[in-house]
Amino acid sequence: MKVLVVGTGAREHAICDALAKDVELYAYMSKNNPGIAKLAVDYKKGDEGEVEAVAEYAKEKGIEMAVIGPESPLGKGIVNALEAVGVPCVGPSQESARIETDKSFMRKLFADYEIDGSLTYRVFDNYEDISAFLDTYEKDVVVKPVGLTGGKGVKIVGDHLIDNQDAKAYAKEVMDNVMGGFAQVIIEEKVVGEEFTIQAFCDGEHLVPMPAAQDHPHAFEGDQGLITGGMGSYSDKNGLLPFMSQKDYDDAVEIMKATLKAIAKETTPYKGILYGQFMLSKDGPKLIEYNARFGDPEAMNVLPLLKTPMIDVCKAIVDGTLDEVEFEDKASVCKYIVPDGYPDTPHAGEIIEVDEEAIEDIGAKVFYAAVSKEEAGIQLSGSRALGITAQGKTIAEAEKLAEEACGFVKGSVYHRRDVGTKDLIQKRIDHMNDILNN
Ligand code: GLY
C-alpha cells in the first residue's frame, strides 16, 4: 500500500518508522530529514502548508492513504484537499481540526455539550471588557491567542506574566496584533497541578487511548528557563504516570470521548489523532487544550511501543472500524537534543555528529527533527535537533539507556539530563500530593 506521511520533524520520523516495514512509504517535507529520507521510497521537499501541491504530489504517485503530522496543514485544509483527489487521511478535516485551530470553538463545545474538565474562560474582542473582567477576577489567569501560534502565544500569570494587570497588557497585544489570525483573545482561569498528555486514535466515532505521557516544556534542568516545544517526555509501563491514578486516566479519556461525540454533532466526524493536554488538579483532570495531531515529543514515547501494526490502526481509522490497539507494557523516555543557545539564541548551521549505529546497538533510537542532511553531515537549523528514545521495564531503566545514547551525539548541542530521572519524578509526585492534601 502506498502511504504518504506529511511533515518534517521527529514526530513524523516516528510515524514513518512505525509504518515503514508494512507499506511503500512516501514523504512530503519542508527539510531533508535524514531519518525520513532513509525510510521513504520517494519524497518531495516542499512547503507542507501548500495543500494543493501536496494533493498534486499524492495524485501523481498514486497514494492510497495519507498520515498528516503537523497542525498547520490541517488548519489549511490538507485533508479536504487530499480527500478531494481520492486520498483517505489519518487526520481531521479543516472543520474538525478547529478543536486545535480555534480555541474559542473548543471551549464553546465544552460549554454547549456540558463536557467535564472545563475551566472558567472568556473570549474577548475589546480592551474595555478585558480590563473590566481582570479588575474583578480574583484568580490568576492564562492568556491565549485563539488560533495557532506554534506553541509560542500562551502566557501564564506567575510564569511569563507578573499578575492580572500584566495579563491585561498582553491580552491587548494578542488582540491588536491579531496573533494566531483572530482579533480576539481567550482568558482562562489558571489551574494548578501536574500536566499530562493523552493521545488517542479516533475514527470519527470510536476513540482508543494510548499510554499517558508527560512532557517537559522548560528549556533547562529543574524546570528552569523559557518554555520550548518540549525537551523530553516519559511514559510508564502501566500506561499511567507515577502521580496519576487509574481513575484520573479514565476520567481524562471520558472527557476525550465526550469531545469526539460533540465534534461529530457540531461538524464533520473527527478522524485522526486527538492529543489531550490535561492538568491533573485537586478536582481531577482539567482540559488545558487539544491538538489535532500526535504530540512532539510524546509520539516518540508511544509509537515505538505499538504492538498492533500502525498500518492496521491507520486503516481502521479511515474505515471507521477502530477497536483494540495493543502496546508493549514498557516504560519509555525521550530526550530532545537541541542546539546550544536554544530557544532564544540557538546555534544554527553547525554540523553535529550522530553515531546512529552506536545508539541502536545499545537498544535506543534516534528520531531526527529540525536538521537536514548536507554533504558535510547533519546540520542544525536552530530548532530542536533530534529525539533520543529508549524503553525499559521501568522508567529508570529507560532513562539510563536514553542518557547513555545521548552521549553518542557530539557538537554544539545540549539536552535535559533530568528528564525521566528518579529525583524529578519524585518532585512531580510530591507536588501532586501537596495539591491533594492542601
Ligand atoms: N508536546 C507539546 C506538543 O506536542 O504540542
Please give the distance, rounded to the nearest whole angstrom, from the Cα atom of residue 62 to the centre of ligand 1.
32
- Percent of the chain's residues with pLDDT above 70: 100
Block residue for cell numbers 482562562: 188
**436, 32, 107, 380: which is closest to 248 by C-alpha?**
436
Q: Which residues lie below 8 Å from residue 119, measured CB to CB, with a gap of 6+? A: 107, 188, 189, 191, 286, 287
pLDDT higher than threshold 90 for residue 308 = yes
Task: Give the three cell numbers for residue 334.
Answer: 525521550
Specify whether the CB–CB gap between 380 and 348 falls below 8 A: yes
Mean pLDDT computed over 144-165: 90
Whole-number pLDDT of residue 227: 86
Please enumerate in sequence order all residues whose Cβ is within 8 A of that of 132, keeping only pairs 6 or more positions apart, or say none. none
297 CA: nearest ligand 1 atom? 1
The angle formed by the CA atoms of residues 30, 300 and 338, to the nearest 5 degrees, is 65
Using pLDDT thresholds of 50, 70 and 90, give the confidence band for residue 150: confident
196 Cβ contact partners less than 8 Å away, ≥ 6 residues apart? 212, 213, 214, 241, 244, 252, 277, 278, 280, 285
Q: What is the pLDDT of residues 325-372, one digit of tens each?
A: 999 999 999 999 999 999 999 999 999 999 999 999 999 999 999 999
DSSP string, 165-198: HHHHHHHHHHHHTTGGG-S-EEEEE---SEEEEE
Is the pLDDT at 21 greater than 90? The verdict is yes
**In what helix (H) or strand (E) does residue 360 lie, and over which residues does it extend?**
helix 356-361
Give the pLDDT band of residue 162 (cuts 50, 70, 90): very high
**What pLDDT score does 146 carry?**
93
pLDDT of the residue at 66: 98
pLDDT value of position 22: 98
151: pLDDT strictly greater than 80: no
Question: Cell numbers of 4, please?
Answer: 504518504
In DSSP terms, 425 is beta-bridged to none
How close is the Cα of 295 to the center of ligand 1, in Å? 4
Geometric angle at alpha carbon 191, from 302 and 74, rounded to 5°: 45
Instruction: Give percent of the chain with pLDDT exceeding 90.
Output: 97
- In this prediction, residue 289 has a pLDDT band, given cuts at 50, 70 and 90, of very high
- Name residues contacting ligand 1 (CB within 6 A): 151, 215, 230, 291, 295-296, 298
Ligand 1 center from residue 268 Cα (angstroms): 24
For the cut 90, the answer to whether the pLDDT of residue 152 exceeds it is no
Q: How far apart are CA 248 and CA 241, in angstroms?
A: 10
H helix runs in 28-118, sequence order: 34-39, 51-61, 71-75, 78-84, 98-101, 103-112
CA angle, 254 as apex, 248 and 255 as ends, to 5°? 90
Quick one: 333 exposed, middle or buried, by C-beta within 10 A (0-12, 13-18, 19+)? buried
Condensed to tens digits (0 to 9), the pLDDT of residues 367-409 reads 999 999 888 999 999 999 999 999 999 999 999 999 999 999 9
The pLDDT of residue 438? 86
Q: Which residue is closest in CA terms to ligand 1's atom 5?
A: 295
pTM of full prediction above 0.95: yes
Per-residue pLDDT averaged across 209-235, rounded?
A: 95
pLDDT, residue 226, reads: 87
- Indicate the top mutation candidate among 199, 215, 216, 416 to test ligand 1's pocket, ranked by most ligand atoms within 8 A of CB: 215
- What per-residue confidence (pLDDT) applies to 377? 92
pLDDT band at 291 (very low <50, low <70, confident <90, very high): very high
CA–CA distance, 56 with 52 (Å, rounded to integer): 6
Q: How far is the CA of 128 from the centre of ligand 1 (A)?
A: 33
> Cell 500502525 maps to which residue?
310
Task: Tell the residue nearest (CA) to atom 4 of ligand 1.
Answer: 295
**What is the average pLDDT value for the chain, to the nearest integer?**
96
Candidate of 291, 294, 383 to mutate for ligand 1, largest count of ligand atoms within 8 Å of Cβ: 291
The rounded distance, in Å, linking the Cα atoms of 356 and 44 is: 24
Helices and strands (H, E) in the chain, number of each type: 15, 25
Cα of 229 from ligand 1 centre, angstroms: 6
- In whole angstroms, how large is the CA radius of gyration of the chain? 21
Q: What confidence tens digit (pLDDT) does each residue in 251-277 have?
A: 999 999 999 999 999 999 999 999 999
CA of 421 to the centre of ligand 1 (A): 20
